[in-house]
Amino acid sequence: MPRYALKVEYHGAPFAGWQRQRDQPSVQGAIEAALARLEPGPHTIAAAGRTDAGVHALGQVAQCDLAKDWAPFRLMEALNHHLKPAPVAIVDCAQVRDDWHARFSALERRYLFRLLMRRAPATHQAGLVWQVPHRLDLAAMRAGAVHLVGHHDFTTFRSSICQAASPLKTLDAIEINEVRTDGGPEIEFRLRARSFLHNQVRSIVGTLERVGRGAWAPDDVRAALQAKDRAACGPVCPPGGLYLYGVGYPEDPFAP
């Protein structure tokens, strides 16, 4: 059976997350239902990461196995037709080797978090950013983030329901930059790692926001990390500002 890699974009608000659920809408369920319109099911697809309820994606990667040998462009077009009107789109498609796996072949995941700084309520960005009514100190947040880069026990920044076997993770990079948008100034947090713990990114951003508004000193982030205690973490920020924007592989399956 030919195997295909799918690059998937979605708006997470209507979904209970990526993973298929019996009584709630999911991104996985929407794509599997579209596949069933092309070939008799059931279909089970795998993804590079299981995003939570309300989390978006610009570059999620999934795989599917089909009986028919589809031209990738035709498969992408057919899936997008059957995905309507769900806010899910297949933005690229490629045939891959039988031993390629969207999750286990991945070398890194890349997440973006958008934080909007303005007092007026967000309109066009509602559900797509985390909004705070105050300016944040970019240099202080960068100083706090330095303590988190590298190989650490991230128990403090891990959800109590996280199912990972170990809290030890290597965070390869955190980039924090201010960007100007028509809706107002935003802070973009970009994080890279081979894998992340449940709620790790949202816990990190929520903690760094405390540093940015002056409630914490940058060194308080190091103390929180060393505490290895969930109670030492800052607030977990809402999911609407979080995007899975890229997945890295030894060879890019979507390269021309």
The CATH number that applies at residue 181 is 3.30.70.660
Residues 6+ apart with CB under 8 A from 170: 150, 151, 152, 193, 194
Specify the pLDDT at position 112.
98
Whether 36 and 138 share a structural domain: no
The percent of residues above 70 in pLDDT, for the chain, comes to: 100
Q: Is 233 inside any structural domain? A: yes
Tell whether 251 is covered by a domain.
Answer: no
Taking a C-beta distance cutoff of 8 angstroms, is the pair 233, 156 a contact?
yes
Catalytic residue among 52, 92, 153, 220: 52
- Domain assignment present for residue 73? The answer is yes
Do 80 and 129 belong together in one domain? no
- Together in a domain, 160 and 235: yes
- What is the reported pLDDT for 183? 86
In a domain, 190, yes or no: yes
Report in angstroms the alpha-carbon separations of 39 from 18, 89, 175, 184.
Answer: 22, 19, 43, 46
51 closest CA partner among 110, 92, 104:
110
Same domain, yes or no, for 84 and 138? no
Residuewise pLDDT in 10s, the chain (256 residues): 899 999 999 999 999 999 998 899 999 999 999 999 999 988 999 999 999 999 999 999 999 999 999 999 999 999 999 999 999 999 999 999 999 999 999 999 999 999 999 999 999 999 999 999 999 999 999 999 999 999 999 999 999 888 889 999 999 999 999 999 888 999 999 999 999 999 999 999 999 999 999 999 999 999 999 999 999 999 999 999 999 999 999 999 999 8
Within a domain: 187: yes
Given 105, 120, 153, the domain boundary residue is 105
Task: Tell me, yes or no, whether 114 and 93 share the same domain.
Answer: no
Pairing between β-strand 130-132 and β-strand 108-117 as defined by DSSP bridges: parallel
- The per-residue pLDDT for range 5-35, each reduced to its tens digit, is 999 999 999 999 999 988 999 999 999 999 9
Q: Is-catalytic flag, 52?
A: yes
In a domain, 255, yes or no: no
Q: Structurally, how many domains does the chain consist of?
A: 2
- Could you give the count of Cα atoms lying within 13 Å of 40 in the half-sphere of its Cβ? 0
Which of these three, 105, 134, 166, is where a domain ends? 105
**Do residues 66 and 145 both lie within one domain?**
no
| Pair 147, 194 in one domain | yes
Domain that holds residue 115: 108-246
Q: Based on the domain organization, do 96 and 161 belong to the same domain?
A: no
Same domain for 120 and 190, yes or no, is yes
Which residues fall within 8 angstroms of residue 186, CB to CB, at 6 or more apart? 114, 115, 116, 117, 129, 178, 179, 180
Q: What is the CATH number of the domain that holds 44?
A: 3.30.70.580
Residue 136 lies in a domain: yes
In this structure, are 230 and 136 located in the same domain?
A: yes
> Do strands 108-117 and 242-248 pair parallel, antiparallel, or not at all (unpaired)?
antiparallel
Give residue 256's pLDDT: 82
Look at residue 252 and tell me if it is in a domain. Answer: no
* Boundary-marking domain end, from 84, 105, 126: 105
In this structure, are 49 and 87 located in the same domain? yes
Q: Are residues 23 and 90 in the same domain?
A: yes
